[in-house]
Amino acid sequence: MNRKTLILILITTGIFLSACQKNSDIFVPDSGQLNGPDTAWYSTVTASMPVNEVKNSLLYETYTDSIQVNSNTAYITTPFGMICGFPPNSCVGNAGQVITGTVNVQLTLVKKKGDMIRLNKPTTSNGRLLVSGGEIFIGLKKGNGDTVHLAPNARIFIRYADAPLDQNMKFFVGDQSNPERFNWLPKTDTINTITLGPPNYEIATNQLGWINCDRFYDTANIPQVTVTANLASYFTNANTVAYTVFKDLRAVTGMYGDVSTRKFSTGKLPGGKVITVVVISKQGNDYFLGYETATTITATSANTTQSVLVKPVKKSLSDIIGFLNSL
């Protein structure tokens, strides 16, 4: 064997070994992911798990203003077009004493589906799909941080424009008793009301916190299906949130992790609707975003399930927020 042939054989062998090494199934963890991806699911999600970092990183600040509580009705007009009126003697302290002077007011009006995801306020009531005319948060505090309440017989008044207006809208209040599954509950009384004064919804309420102008989506005689997200094993309930967004409805449903199946799933959804399954995760120091559009199938039985394949990829937090703002 001559010298040139020997050198050629050595070079070829080196290239072959290098290719084998590159194609070998060896996991190389990213920075901040020292032991590889965590595939464990948990029956209890604790505050220290990455999924809570995901939720907190998506939040945005509520609008804050102040009113002078005295013998006149106090009004706030927000930059997003919502007007809120507080009648005289409508604010009380923890002991029920009437409060006067300056009261700080927090207000949020949510009409974009991406904001419903960012604030973790999907549009479902005890598993039933809702269509929203606007989610609202109202919070009252004194300058020293003490919480302010509404007097027992007081009602505040809210007005904001929307299109199209829906005469079937009802009043709902936010239930946060389960920190992992926000829920809307119907409030059927004559104190909390929604009326139409085109182009506005006009709300009278004695509720603070989260309230919603909503209607149930009519699923009578419509086959319903459960949608699950088909994900890689390391997207778990400890590090991932998932939602289903409807294209032609102002509606978002949460997809909740099931420990036994290791799947994120919706409740029952109407068939024949265009949806986007959105998945956001934090793995080590990195954020991931995945989304896939599909049309819900026509159910053939009460237990029909539709799987949607989603492949999240690494994204910056600002890119994720930009995507949510586009929904």
Indicate if the pLDDT at residue 227 is higher than 90: yes
Q: What is the pLDDT of residue 257?
A: 96
Indicate if the pLDDT at residue 9 is higher than 70: no
- Look up tokens 């290719």; give the residue: 19
The model's pTM is 0.87
pLDDT band, very low/low/confident/very high, at 145 (cuts 50, 70, 90)? confident
pLDDT band, very low/low/confident/very high, at 327 (cuts 50, 70, 90)? very high
Centre a 10 Å sphere on the Cβ of residue 280 and count the other Cβ atoms it contains.
Answer: 28
In CATH terms, the fold of domain 50-56+219-325 is: Immunoglobulin-like (2.60.40)
Determine the Cα–Cα distance for residues 285 and 274; give it in Å rounded to an integer: 33
Mean pLDDT of the 78-100 span = 94
Q: What is the pLDDT of residue 36?
A: 55
Mean pLDDT of the 255-273 span = 96
Tens-place pLDDT, residues 174-224:
999 998 899 999 999 999 999 999 999 999 999 999 999 999 998 888 889
Which phi and psi angles does 309 have, rounded to 5°? -75, 125
Mean of the per-residue pLDDT values for the chain? 90
Mean pLDDT of the 91-113 span = 95
Question: Which whole-number Å values give the CA distances from 305 to 145, 150, 214, 228, 271, in the listed order?
Answer: 48, 45, 27, 7, 11
Number of residues assigned to the chain: 327
Q: What is the pLDDT of residue 250?
A: 98
Which DSSP helix (H) or strand (E) runs through 305?
strand 305-309
Residue 84's beta-bridge partner residues?
76, 158
- Tell me whether the CATH fold assigned to 50-56+219-325 matches the one assigned to 60-216: no
Which DSSP helix (H) or strand (E) runs through 8?
helix 3-23
Lowest mean pLDDT among 28-37, 68-77, 137-146, 304-313: 28-37
- Extents of the domains making up the chain: 50-56+219-325, 60-216
Mean pLDDT of the 160-179 span = 96
Determine the Cα–Cα distance for residues 149 and 141; give it in Å rounded to an integer: 8
9: left (phi over 0), alpha (psi -120 to 50) or beta: alpha
Q: What is the pLDDT of residue 121?
A: 98
pLDDT band, very low/low/confident/very high, at 2 (cuts 50, 70, 90)? low
Q: What is the pLDDT of residue 43?
A: 94
Indicate if the pLDDT at residue 109 is higher than 50: yes
Indicate if the pLDDT at residue 92 is higher than 50: yes
pLDDT band, very low/low/confident/very high, at 32 (cuts 50, 70, 90)? very low
pLDDT, greater one: 205 or 25? 205
Mean pLDDT of the 230-251 span = 98
Indicate if the pLDDT at residue 7 is higher than 50: no
Q: What is the pLDDT of residue 204?
A: 98
Reading the block at residue 106, the tokens are 């927090």
pLDDT band, very low/low/confident/very high, at 38 (cuts 50, 70, 90)? confident
pLDDT, greater one: 298 or 133? 133
Mean pLDDT of the 25-38 span = 46
Which CATH number, 3.40.50.10140, 3.30.1330.10, 1.10.645.10, 2.60.220.50, labels domain 60-216? 2.60.220.50
Question: Which whole-number Å values give the CA distances from 161 to 127, 134, 141, 248, 300, in the listed order?
Answer: 28, 10, 27, 19, 41
Q: What is the pLDDT of residue 30?
A: 46
Which DSSP helix (H) or strand (E) runs through 132?
strand 128-141
